[in-house]
Amino acid sequence: MGRVYNFSAGPAVLPEEVLNEASEEMLNYRNTGMSVMEMSHRSQAYQTIIDEAEQDLRDLMNIPDNYKVLFLQGGASLQFAMVPMNLMKNRVADYIITGNWAKKAYQEASKYGKVNAIASSADKNFTYIPDCSDLSISKESDYVYICENNTIYGTKYKSLPNTKGKTLISDISSCFLSEPVDVSKYGILFGGAQKNVGPAGVTIVIIREDLISEDILPGTPTMLKYKTHSDSGSLYNTPPTYGIYMCGKVFKWLKNLGGLEAMQERNQNKAKILYDYLDKSKLFSGTVEKEYRSLMNIPFVTGDSDIDAKFVKEAKEAGLENLKGHRTVGGMRASIYNAMPTEGVEALVAFMKDFEAKNL
């Protein structure tokens, strides 16, 4: 069997060009005589790889000089703890609950202080983003936390919350590099690489310098201090060397395609193909309120779980993989990250039309 169209939410599709390049360099990286996997993280060759990866990410996202880029491990889930451990000086924080990942972050932070859920879309199974223009943000709050693109529910913030001057922390795991962002509006942006950036095992944290200090919760392990990693250029201990190398290749791929403006346009066109069809289909419907629709994760249902299961099975047989929805939403979900080609979405819609004709 050849390569399929992989609609997995993560680990997810990577650009074929990147995989091919990595495969060519697998045994002997640029005449070093070894694979990047076998290379010391203290070698000059590796230093060049991580420096270029950082610089390319800075170029792509226009990251201001007063922000650090950290390549860490532990997944986005470890940031649920690192954020409060490093930032909760008053032991108060405000969280906006727009799905499972925001809820998990909220629960983790609750171990360290008084955490307020200042808005939530739980009342409608997270099918929208709550109004965040005038939230009751606490005076002593150390930060306001959001999950910007909700991977499971398929919603995305279309404007950032009014934090009333408080530092904004954002989990961008599933919308990382999908469109331009104004980094200066955030204190921290973080994400696991395995959704839209690279292989699992790398977590990228973009953090404003003034938030990095030794004044953190007592007992915070050395490895969980932002300062540890910032002071050592993400080389305090062995970083996920091969994963960072792959992320670096994806950054170069994005730059070659024209950067994040070009990627945004491509993503909008791609998502429109599926949303337009969902809006007129008599069998399938999207689950999210239109104005909050994600460009990356698109859940849809037929309303009949047997037909849903039949669809997922037959789609797989047709080379359209990983379309089963998350158990909390049911139905289907197509994750169409940067690396999903337009032809993949076209193939999905063609298959859905055919399935609709046979099953309605």
Ligand X SMILES: *Cc1c(COP(=O)(O)O)cnc(C)c1O
**Residue 299 engages ligand X in binding (rule: CB under 6 A):** no
Told to check if 55 binds ligand X by CB under 6 A, we report no
Which range in 24-32, 75-83, 257-265, 312-320 contacts ligand X by CB under 6 A? 75-83
String of b and e for 228-246 (b: at least 16 CB within 10 Å)? bbbeebbbbeebbbbbbbb
Q: Quick check: 10 binds ligand X (CB under 6 A)?
A: yes
Let me know: does 177 contact 60? Beta carbons within 8 Å. yes
User: Residue 97 and residue 130: Cα distance in Å, rounded?
Assistant: 9
Residue ranges in 93-152 that form contacts with ligand X under rule CB under 6 A = 101, 147, 151
Binding mask 179-218 for ligand X (x = CB under 6 A): -------------x--x-----------------------
User: Which residue of 53, 57, 69, 76 would you call a contact of ligand X, by CB under 6 A?
Assistant: 76
203/302 with CB nearer ligand X: 203
SS (H, E, C) 188-236: EEEEECCCCCCCCCCEEEEEEHHHCCCCCCCCCCHHHCHHHHHHCCCCC
Smallest separation, CB 194 to ligand X (Å): 6
Asked whether 10 and 335 are in contact (CB, 8 A), the reply is yes
* Bond preceding residue 11 cis, omega within 30 of 0: yes
Q: From the CB of 157, what's the least distance to ligand X, in Å?
A: 12
Asked if residue 320 lies in contact with residue 347, where contact means CB atoms within 8 angstroms, the answer is yes
Residue from 77, 110, 120, 162 in contact with ligand X (CB under 6 A):
77
Total residues contacting ligand X by CB under 6 A comes to: 12
Task: Yes or no: say if 52 and 245 are a contact pair by the CB < 8 Å rule.
Answer: no
Q: Is residue 8 involved in binding ligand X (CB under 6 A)?
A: no
The residue ranges that bind ligand X (CB under 6 A) are 10, 75-77, 101, 147, 151, 171, 173-174, 192, 195
- Catalytically active residues are 101, 171, 195
